[in-house]
Structure 1
């Protein structure tokens, strides 16, 4: 198998452009001030344009592009729920959560948990949050590996490793500044590359009319017996699509709450615009006589190649130059999401685990280097995941599974139910994880420990058990928090038993958590629950009530 040299040169040039822009942005970031907040949230200087672009580019990764096309061919458009689900999620997050998070001056999605439920609970919620990021990175790197292997005949493992290294390298130096600036050029590549390829693919001699017999070929239908899982999946995507630090990192970096909200809405529309070519490529693949191409002797795509729909359409149904441009689009999509997830996971570890739990007095220099080492480590894990993954669409879908069941009920309670406490949070976390994992997961080889109603030996769980697991977690958080609050406040349980110090003090005084301030009774001076958490959560240059940065300079 010979590597296609001209195409390889084109991809190398593209990577060098992205790397140069990323390193240039990193230098500009250091000129604005070498501190950890600049690395994490770009000094809260993002204007509406940059905020909208970086949010859209983050969600339009290789998993979205390749996974959407695979979903259309494998399951039908009706079951390709990712694009619409994630788009609606951007509206939910923007309307209900952006104002609450941004106005409190938080730096990461886990900050309110560390502040309200304690450092250990913040660390515990770090697990599903970071696993979701790594799964996401694995899915998009796998998408790039498959694309390069088809079009350039380049080994997918080498492609994944090189791509992960480049994304990690410029993120290492520039943090969110580098990620945001490279997102701009990457989104341009994505738009041009994918939309340019469609006319050539539609007019290829081997391609039929997608409007003929569309319901049977690529739209397909919904089996009433599967309606529970259908609803379950949409709720998972809509409510599990925004509680990611990749999302909050960008809205928290916006210069104002209004810019953050509008950017979120624009990204929702952008997701639909940028995944439309993938939907159409999936439809094209179902009406193509692949026997008329040099790819296959079969009329339909073989089952084993369904995760290669986009690169196959580019390679065999478009001119070579167009295929290279389309490959640049897929590469751009991968880089725009890979760097975001690598940075996101590293930011959460540095701030909510290393600083809050282990080193509250760590200097900015120390934290920057911890963050950089974390970037390299997470990039390595993502590359490994991308190498061993099989179905891009399955892994892309699985990312929001963890977030939906474990993180969504927690962030809903910590933001809107201010009287919930650490006891409820822990019990909800454990129960949610148990009932979700007990339902089994074929993608991870987990058998079903609990067979929910309508279980089928061949099709597996047909009951919306993911939503049930989320509701069990949410109910546990609310009920256990309410019960423990009542028991401690009414003296049924002695104050010394409040081991997390989240309901009463050692003197038996009630405390109410109000986001970033703890108000104590008996006219005592206001003070934090835990000195270490308060110190670690301090926001330099921020007004905790308005979230307005002192520096008025902003980026677009």
Structure 2
């Protein structure tokens, strides 16, 4: 296959347009910095994001390369099908739930990052420990979506995927470093619009290709092949629900989401943007669903791809670019590549900003150097972007294994961080003892559940644990179970610690985290003030 020169030129133009938009947004951010905190402008855009930009950038939280590629892949797989496509419904639910329940308490207190309420509630040390799962998640996410772009470029343009990874990473690092959230948000608008137009242009050409059967026919006719609509066997219902809850609730506890929400001008605008983004997120999955259905309805022997099929070659994860390459004209496949590149970059920049902003603001400023100036924090954030971006770029060369690591870290965010965030925002009386206990128990339970993609066997066989093709599969909703156990543990241990220390069951000198000693000191000080006031009143 020869180098696709027109495609290469089109991609270069798209990258130049994205970079130019990012640099313009950086200039806009510089103007805003004159009147506001540099740190807040970089992390939350000065809290003056208009609703149009807010809608697009919030949608881009989860509508990225993995979203459009993964949706097409699941529809295409004979063992899955449309019935197993959780992402559109799950992430749409996370936007709506986040909008109605999490926006107001976060926005009303003018938090800068998601870690602020956690550090406020559980202290700086515990907050820094809770920072680890989202940090790993953001770095692995950055790496995995760059890897998917590299593979796509290799299929369509016949260019070394490593080169596209390096160029994409450098572009994203540059404009995010210079403009912060302004650059992320305004490039998201360009990228999402490009994604919508490009994918819908590709759909009609894929549908009418002579190698593909009518997808309405193959959706119900089992004589042709396995229907792409898919089925859910009764024994898999609990696991199906587990995955749906994981995406619906696990999609909330990420800084990539809150950095957009906290940038809104008002709580009402943030709520509206979040809920509308849920609708747009679901709509954005439609082209990928159609492309996956077309791939499942295609006789690949009638294309230049030939046999065996992508599934038999183990290339089902590349089904979207394969459809663009072999079922669409060249100029159309180039447009599709632009859509994938746009999706990747819209996710990559936000994950990079997320990790670096939490490190600079919550770890460096609040723990390591509390007297650090605004300029110093900003430079630390920029330096961490370069370091984390370079690490992610290096990990991208590991390809599939990186995506597996991101998926596991995402489950850790759901199991460990989501209950902590709920307790910090909604449940009074919880403290660092409960937080630590819930974190440790949740972490142990999640690892004991096993992870087949990383070849971690289950140490705890939940009800319904079944051996399938020599591998144990947990049919019990253990991810949701782990999250609930972690949540209950935080509340129960917090209450137990309060009772033991307050009722004298344990001496206050054992309160190593100074939770109740400080309360006792404040109470004693308050009582002394009241006593002094009473004496003064009596003497008068």
Say yes or no: TM over 0.5.
Answer: yes
Q: Is the alpha carbon distance of 1:159 and 1:510 closer, same or farther for their aligned partners in structure 2, counting shifts above 3 Å?
A: farther
Equivalence for 1:18: 18
Equivalence for 2:536: none
- Residues in 1 aligned to 2:230 and 2:210: alpha-carbon distance in whole angstroms: 25
Is 1:68 the equivalent of 2:71? yes
User: Out of 439, 462, 466, which is 1:452 matched to?
Assistant: 462
What is the CA-CA distance between 1:158 and the residue it aligns to?
1.7
Equivalence for 1:492: 505
User: Out of 104, 111, 123, which is 1:99 matched to?
Assistant: 104
Question: After superposition, where does 1:110-189 map in structure 2 within 5 Å?
Answer: 110-189=115-194
Equivalence for 2:517: 504
Equivalence for 1:58: 61
**CA deviation map 1:61-104 (0-9, x unaligned):** 00001111111122211111111111111111111110010001
- Residues in 2 aligned to 1:506 and 1:89: alpha-carbon distance in whole angstroms: 36
- Higher gyration radius (CA): 2
Provide the secondary structure at the position in 2 that maps to 1:457.
strand
Equivalence for 2:32: 32
Query: Which moved further from structure 2: 414-423 or 492-501?
Result: 492-501
CA contact (8 A) 2:165 2:393 kept: yes
- Residues in 2 aligned to 1:322 and 1:309: alpha-carbon distance in whole angstroms: 16
Provide the secondary structure at the position in 1 that maps to 2:518.
coil
Equivalence for 2:446: 436
CA contact (8 A) 1:68 1:393 kept: no
- Residues in 1 aligned to 2:259 and 2:453: alpha-carbon distance in whole angstroms: 29
What is the CA-CA distance between 1:225 and the residue it aligns to?
1.3
**CA deviation map 1:401-434 (0-9, x unaligned):** 1221011110111111121000000000000011
Is 1:41 the equivalent of 2:50? no
Provide the secondary structure at the position in 2 that maps to 1:46.
coil
Is 1:85 the equivalent of 2:90? yes
Q: Is the alpha carbon distance of 1:300 and 1:365 closer, same or farther for their aligned partners in structure 2, counting shifts above 3 Å?
A: closer
What is the CA-CA distance between 1:394 and the residue it aligns to?
5.5
User: Out of 196, 206, 212, which is 1:191 matched to?
Assistant: 196
What is the CA-CA distance between 1:300 and the residue it aligns to?
6.1
**CA deviation map 1:377-415 (0-9, x unaligned):** 221232233321327986675453122101111011111
Equivalence for 1:228: 238
Q: What is the CA RMSD across the aligned residues, in angstroms? A: 1.9
Is 1:417 the equivalent of 2:427? yes
- Residues in 2 aligned to 1:242 and 1:182: alpha-carbon distance in whole angstroms: 22
**CA deviation map 1:455-500 (0-9, x unaligned):** 1222521111111111111111010000011112222222222221
Q: How many residues align?
A: 517
Q: Is the alpha carbon distance of 1:230 and 1:393 closer, same or farther for their aligned partners in structure 2, counting shifts above 3 Å?
A: farther
What is the CA-CA distance between 1:190 and the residue it aligns to?
0.3
Is 1:297 the equivalent of 2:300? no
**CA deviation map 1:32-70 (0-9, x unaligned):** 216121111111011211111101123210000111111
What is the CA-CA distance between 1:509 and the residue it aligns to?
4.8
- Residues in 2 aligned to 1:395 and 1:275: alpha-carbon distance in whole angstroms: 24
Query: Which moved further from structure 2: 197-206 or 436-445?
Result: 436-445
What is the CA-CA distance between 1:115 and the residue it aligns to?
1.2
Question: After superposition, where does 1:285-434 map in structure 2 within 5 Å?
Answer: 285-298=295-308, 301-390=311-400, 397-398=407-408, 400-434=410-444
CA contact (8 A) 1:70 1:393 kept: no
- Residues in 1 aligned to 2:41 and 2:309: alpha-carbon distance in whole angstroms: 54
Query: Which moved further from structure 2: 70-79 or 60-69?
Result: 70-79
CA contact (8 A) 1:240 1:404 kept: yes
TM-score by length of 2: 0.92
Provide the secondary structure at the position in 2 that maps to 1:503.
helix
CA contact (8 A) 1:136 1:399 kept: no
- Residues in 1 aligned to 2:364 and 2:309: alpha-carbon distance in whole angstroms: 55
Query: Which moved further from structure 2: 300-309 or 243-252?
Result: 300-309
Provide the secondary structure at the position in 1 that maps to 2:61.
helix
**CA deviation map 1:432-467 (0-9, x unaligned):** 011001111122232212222221222521111111
